[in-house]
Amino acid sequence: MTPDLESRLAFCNNLPTLPGVAIQLVELAQDPEAHIATAAKIISHDPALSAKILRVANSPLYATQRKVENLRQALTVLGLNATLTLALGFSLAKSLRAAWNQSSHNEAVWRRSILAATACRSLGEKLGLPRTEELMLAGLLQDIGRLALGQLDPVRYAAICTEADDGDGLLAREREAFGADHAEVGAWLARRWNLPAYLEQAIAGSESGGGEDLFDICAALSGLIADIWIAPNPEEHRRRVSDMAQARLNLSRADFAEVITLVTESIPEFAMLFDMRLTEPERMDAIVEHARELLLIRNLKDIQEAHRLRREAEQLKDHARALEDRARRDPLTGLFNRAHFQELLEKEFDGARQFGWPISLAFIDLDDFKQINDRYGHLAGDEVLRQFATVLVMGVRASDVLCRFGGEEFLLLLPSTGETAARTLLQRLLQDISSTPMAEVDDQVIRVTASVGLATMSGGFGFDSADALVRAADRALYDAKGHGRNRICVAEGDTPVEPR
C-alpha cells in the first residue's frame, strides 16, 4: 500500500475506531491468562451483545441438551476462546454497520460478508477444522477494506464498483484509483485496530487464494461461495468455485454440495444474529435443489459405504455416550449419582462465589422409609424410591440438578436461587410428594412424606466450600426430622464470602 493512501486513510475522519467493548475483547483474547469471569463482565456491559451470545449458545450451531439460561452458562458451553471470537464479531458488525454510511453498496458488502462468515464456518466444519468461530470472524471481516475505501471516497468508489465486471476487475480498478486493493486496505485496518494476527493474514490473502494455510484458503474461498447467493449467474459461478474448492481443498463436487447445504441451513440463523436479510427464498431453494442433485449423482456404492461407516461410528458414539451417562447415574432411580453430582456442585459453587450469585442446596429424606421396607418388602421400597424420584424430577426446573445421595436420601441443587424462591419450590415439592401414591401392594396404596434441610449462599454470606454447604443442609435436615418430619428447616451460613 502506498504511503499516500496510508496517510489518507489514517487522517480520514469517516473511518470509525473500534468500540470500547471490542477493544477490551481484543486485549483479553491476546492475554494468555484470560479468565471466563473477566469475559463475562465485559460482555455483560452490553445487553444486546449478551443476548446474542445467549442466542448462539442455544442455537442449532451449538446443540446442547440443557437450555442455556444465563451468560455464565453460555460461557461454559461455548468456551472462552469461542465466546471472545463470537463477541468480537458481533460487536464489530454492529458498530461498523452503524458507523459507515448506509448506502446500497455498503449494505451489499455487509450481506456478502455475513454470507462469507456462514460459508467460512461451514467449510471449517466440513473439513473438521477446530477454529470454526475464528473462521467465521475471518469471513465476516475479509471485505472491510471495501467499506473503508467507500468511506474514503464514496462517489469514486461507487463508480468503480459499478464499472467492475467481476472480482478481478474490481481489484484492478482499485489499484489504479487508490494504489492498493481492498484486501491490502483491510489488512492495514486490521493491523491499525490491533486485531489478532490471524485475521490480518486472512484478510490480506482473501483475494489471492489464501496461500497454503487451510485457514486462509477457507477464508479466501468463503467470499466466492457467498457470491453464489449474489452473482447474476449463480450456476456458472457455483461450478467455478466448486472446481477451485477441489483444487485447493481436495473437496469433491459432492463434498462441495454438502458445504452449500450447510451454508443454506445456517443462513436463517446468521440472518437473525446479524439482523439482515441475506438472500431471496427462491434463490436459496434453487441452490439447495442443485446441491441435492449433485449428492444424488454420487456413486451408490460410495454412498452406501459412507452410510455404513457413519452408522457404525454413530453407534459407537451412542454406546460410548450411554456408558458414560450410565456411569453418572444411579441405576435404581436414573438420577445423577453422588460422584457426578459432586463434580457439578463444585463447578456451580465456584461460579456462585466468583460472580456473587445465590445458590441453594436441599437435602431431602423420605420419612420412616425403613418401615416401608420392613412392612412391604424391599421390592416395594425400590418402587417407592423410583416413584419418589419421578415426583422430584417433575417438580423441579430444567436448570436444577437432582442426585440420589444414598438410600432414601436425595440432594437437589438450585443454581442462581435464593432462600425464598428455594423454599417456595420445596414447599410445592412436599405437597406433591404427600399427595402422590408411591406404590400399591395387595391393594394397599403407599404414601410417603419427606423432610428437607435447606442451605443457601447469598447476600455476601455463606460457606467457604461446597462440602460446607452440604454439611449445613444435612444439619438442617436433622433439625427437620427432630421437629416432626414433613417440613423444611433452613441452615444459616456464617462465613463472609466476597465474589472473586
The number of beta carbons lying within 10 Å of the beta carbon of residue 443 is 5
Neighbouring residues of 63: CB distance < 8 A, sequence distance ≥ 6: none
pLDDT above 90 as % of the chain:
30
Amino acid at position 336, single letter: F
Whether the CA torsion 13, 185, 167, 131 is positive or negative: it is negative
More confident residue, 144 or 462: 144
When mean pLDDT is compared across 122-126, 220-224, 263-267, 304-308, the lowest value belongs to 304-308
When mean pLDDT is compared across 109-123, 309-323, 372-386, the lowest value belongs to 309-323
pLDDT above 70 as % of the chain:
86
Where does the pLDDT of residue 85 fall: very low under 50, low under 70, confident under 90, or very high at 90 and above?
A: confident
Mean pLDDT of the chain: 82
| Rounded Cα distance, 122 and 265, in Å | 10
| Rounded Cα distance, 109 and 119, in Å | 15
More confident residue, 84 or 437: 437
Q: Hunting for cell 487508490 — which residue is that?
A: 178
More confident residue, 155 or 471: 471
| Rounded Cα distance, 28 and 9, in Å | 27
More confident residue, 386 or 18: 386
Where does the pLDDT of residue 500 fall: very low under 50, low under 70, confident under 90, or very high at 90 and above?
A: very low
Q: What is the reported pLDDT for 495?
A: 47
The answer to whether residues 387 and 475 touch, using CB atoms and an 8 Å cutoff, is no
Residues 373-389, mean pLDDT to the nearest whole number: 92
Candidates 365, 384, 373, 362; CA nearest to 485 is: 365
Q: What is the reported pLDDT for 498?
A: 40
| 392-417 pLDDT tens trace | 999 999 899 999 998 999 999 999 99
More confident residue, 245 or 498: 245
Candidates 161, 190, 165; CA nearest to 177 is: 161
| 120-161 pLDDT tens trace | 989 999 999 988 888 888 888 888 888 888 888 888 888 888
| 286-301 pLDDT tens trace | 555 555 555 554 545 5
Q: What is the reported pLDDT for 83?
A: 78
| Rounded Cα distance, 9 and 260, in Å | 37
May I ask the CATH architecture of the domain 338-496? 2-Layer Sandwich (3.30)
| 475-498 pLDDT tens trace | 999 999 999 899 999 997 544 444
Q: What is the reported pLDDT for 390?
A: 94
Q: E strand or H helix at 425, and its extent? A: helix 419-435
Domain ranges of the chain: 3-16+100-298, 338-496
How is 12-69 classified by DSSP, letter by letter? -TTSPPPPHHHHHHHHHHT-TT--HHHHHHHHHT-HHHHHHHHHHHTSGGG--SS---
Topology alike, domains 3-16+100-298 and 338-496: no
Q: What is the reported pLDDT for 230?
A: 81
pLDDT > 70? residue 459 = no
Fold that domain 3-16+100-298 belongs to in CATH = Hypothetical protein af1432 (1.10.3210)
Where does the pLDDT of residue 310 fall: very low under 50, low under 70, confident under 90, or very high at 90 and above?
A: confident
Q: E strand or H helix at 454, and its extent? A: strand 450-457
Q: What is the reported pLDDT for 303?
A: 58
Residues 349-371, mean pLDDT to the nearest whole number: 91
